[in-house]
């Protein structure tokens, strides 16, 4: 089966021929179009944060947390940009989604958009490796279909960024139109751009998109929706994860030594059930075990 051939190829930090990648995207889109905005999954499951094109560290993550299909996964977006191997990273994840559609959920992050992926490296990488923008356009079609959030055992919500003043219930989240580019404002924008902070009321984010929200807002949202925890990513955490608001929200970061210079460790959360999770920490793959391309001419880290 051709998917098995793709699995073997992508184990070596290799990207697929354009014809094969087009076929892969079509297969994955057929799966994603059937998924909900809020895709349900049962424990046990491992929750992962940003990857940002760090292919070798993604493979280390699988080594630490367990291989598919023995381990189920939720990846909370930002697969591309800033790292050296965005296309290889995304291809590996899409191949696994095609092979094990019920064992891996891929959520949309703020970098899974046309505007951001053009500015922060993914578009240029597609041009460099394929010689044309066709692959990037295919990826954007996949991005538009990615679920916004996942729900573990109806108690733990996973989302890339955070909450929105326009989304007070999970039913409202389920009705957001998602098959489109991420807009500059509104519910979809907020869910992939917002951040938790020590604020009382909704506060405009300094990112220029989304909001800052505090513990009171998280407590109310969790109470209204019978949630015990919100898992999200979107922010670099030097220790790999951060628990806030009396355990009601957790930030999970899965790109160690982010952009090959931040010196942070990474983590994934392994949920045995909705009430029990274990952070698993890991470091970046040593330089002698990875291949680094020539230095980029443009600084994508901002």
User: Which residues are tagged catalytic?
Assistant: 111
Under a CB-based contact definition with an 8 Å cutoff, are residues 218 and 230 in contact?
yes
Measured in whole angstroms, the distance separating CA 173 from the mean position of its chain's CA atoms is 18
CA pair distance 148, 20, nearest whole angstrom: 27
CA distance 191 to 114: 17
Is the separation of the CB atoms in 49 and 251 below 8 Å? yes
Residues 219-254 as b/e (b if ≥16 CB within 10 A, e otherwise) read eebbeebebebbbbbbbebeebbeebbeebbbbbbb
Sign of CA dihedral 214, 218, 220, 221: positive
User: CB–CB of 212/138 below 8 Å?
Assistant: no
């Amino acid at each position: 089966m051709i998917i098995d051939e793709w699995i073997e190829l992508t184990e070596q930090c290799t990207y697929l021929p354009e014809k094969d990648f087009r076929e892969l995207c079509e297969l994955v889109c057929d799966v994603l179009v059937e998924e909900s905005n809020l895709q349900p999954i049962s424990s046990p499951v491992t929750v992962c944060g940003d990857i940002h094109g760090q292919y070798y560290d993604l493979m280390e993550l699988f080594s630490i947390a367990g291989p598919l299909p023995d381990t189920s996964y939720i990846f909370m977006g930002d697969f591309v940009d800033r790292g050296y191997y965005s296309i290889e990273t995304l291809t590996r994840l899409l191949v696994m989604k095609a092979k094990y559609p019920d064992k891996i959920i891929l959520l949309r992050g703020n970098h899974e958009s046309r505007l951001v992926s053009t500015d922060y490296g993914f578009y240029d990488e597609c041009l460099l490796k394929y010689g044309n923008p066709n692959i990037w356009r295919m990826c954007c079609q996949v991005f538009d279909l990615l679920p916004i959030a996942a729900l573990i055992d109806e108690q733990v919500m996973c989302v890339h960024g955070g909450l929105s003043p326009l989304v007070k219930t999970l039913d409202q989240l389920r009705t957001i139109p998602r098959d489109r580019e991420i807009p500059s404002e509104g519910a979809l924008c907020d869910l992939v751009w917002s951040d938790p902070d020590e604020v009382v009321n909704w506060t405009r984010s300094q990112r220029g998109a989304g909001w800052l929200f505090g513990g009171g807002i998280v407590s109310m949202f969790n109470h209204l929706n019978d949630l015990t925890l919100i898992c999200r990513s979107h922010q670099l955490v030097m220790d790999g994860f951060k628990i806030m608001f009396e355990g009601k929200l957790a930030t999970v970061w899965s790109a160690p030594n982010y952009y090959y210079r931040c010196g942070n460790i990474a983590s994934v959360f392994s949920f045995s059930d909705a009430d029990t999770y274990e952070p698993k920490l890991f470091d970046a793959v040593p330089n002698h075990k990875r291949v680094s391309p020539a230095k980029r001419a443009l600084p994508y880290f901002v």
